[in-house]
Amino acid sequence: MAVEVVQKDTGYLLEGPHWDDVTNTLLYVDIFNKFVHSYNTVTKEAKKVEVHDAVGAIVTTTSGRTMACVGREVGYINWDAGKFETFCEIDLKKGTRFNDCKCDPAGRFYLGTMAVQDPSTSSEETKKGQGSLFCLSPDKTVREFVQNVDISNGMAWTNDHKTMYYIDSLTYGVDAFDYNIETGEIANRRQAISVPKSDGVPDGMCIDDEGMLWVALFDGWAVNRYNPKTGEKLRSIKFPTKNITSCCWGGANRDELYVTCAKHFLKPDELKEQDTAGSIFRVTDLGVKGVKCDVFKDN
């Protein structure tokens, strides 16, 4: 197993990594700096586009475009023109913003939200219960599936399309829902994994082809691998900076784990010591393969 920095210090609160296996490109966002990033791991070409508001997530689509959640809108990123083009506006509750958002295996876009917080306060001080989990269908129908969410974060779907895993960070765990791929509906919420506070705050996650979950731990210096059927922690990958935000599978064989992290909340002395904060990591030789990042169905 090896951990390396593939892009050093590209932002402040890096989040939402999404691997585009058509172009071998890693996409990610820098939430408060309002940038979407793209990095081609083969050609090493890096691009970024500034958007008009806080950006929660970025994904690719079946038509080969890129879609991002910005402010109250979901829209396309036009990389050549450096512009955001609105697809639809979501009726977000006042004082909330998009956080982690992800597509399901049927091409719907699950949009998580949380309270807008004062950047100087900690995750624990986030105004609770303000967030939701919405589901945007390709026909632009929006449904609100979960309410009273503190910090809507990681999502993952099992290969058999029967279960969706979900992280509301301040519950310090990962929940499971029964998932219906035909309708997108989720039901029967229960806790699958409990994360002790001393391990950090569960943030973004992805799933491997053995059905195990890889959970990024904010304030936890790690991505942990768990068995969601037993709740058991199987493995912990350590990083040289503490606010690990999310992870996704990438690489030609989908066996590389790309990991984002943040400078957010780090004090000046911590920033000096953790000079990889705000970088993109790649973990290789894990002996595990991941699952493809799902894309929005727009054609």
Give catalytic residue positions: 203
Does 255 engage in binding with Ca ion (CB under 5 A)? Answer: no
The least CB distance from residue 8 to Ca ion, in Å, is 21
Total residues interacting with Ca ion, rule: CB under 5 A: 4
By the rule CB under 5 A, 30 interacts with Ca ion: no
Q: Token match 């036009």: residue?
A: 78
Residue-by-residue DSSP string for the chain: -EEEEEE-S--SBEEEEEEETTTTEEEEEETTTTEEEEEETTT--EEEEE-SS-EEEEEEBTTS-EEEEETTEEEEEETTTTEEEEEEE--PPTTEEEEEEEE-TTS-EEEEEEE---TTS-GGGSPTT-EEEEEE-TTS-EEEEEEEESBEEEEEE-TTSSEEEEEEGGG-EEEEEEE-TTT--EEEEEEEEE--GGG-EEEEEEEBTTS-EEEEEETTTEEEEEETTTTEEEEEEE-SSS-EEEEEEESTTS-EEEEEEB-TT--HHHHHH-TTTT-EEEEE--S--B-PPP-B---
Q: Which of 203, 208, 255, 256 binds Ca ion (CB under 5 A)?
A: 203
Minimum CB separation from Ca ion for residue 84, in Å? 20
The residue (of 107 and 204) whose beta carbon lies closer to Ca ion is 204
Q: Nearest approach, Cβ of 9 to Ca ion (angstroms)? A: 19
Which CB, 65 or 111, lies closer to Ca ion?
111
What residues from 91 to 110 belong to the interface with Ca ion (CB under 5 A)? 100
CB of 203 or CB of 256, closer to Ca ion: 203
Q: In angstroms, what is the minimal distance from the CB of 218 to Ca ion?
A: 8
Interacting stretch for Ca ion, rule CB under 5 A, among 112-120, 182-190, 202-210, 221-229?
A: 202-210
In whole angstroms, the minimum distance from the beta carbon of 142 to Ca ion comes to 21
Residue 179 or 218 having the CB closest to Ca ion: 218
Q: Does residue 153 touch Ca ion according to CB under 5 A?
A: yes
Give the nearer residue to Ca ion in terms of CB position, either 65 or 134.
134
> Which residues of the shown chain bind Ca ion in the complex (CB under 5 A)?
100, 153, 203-204
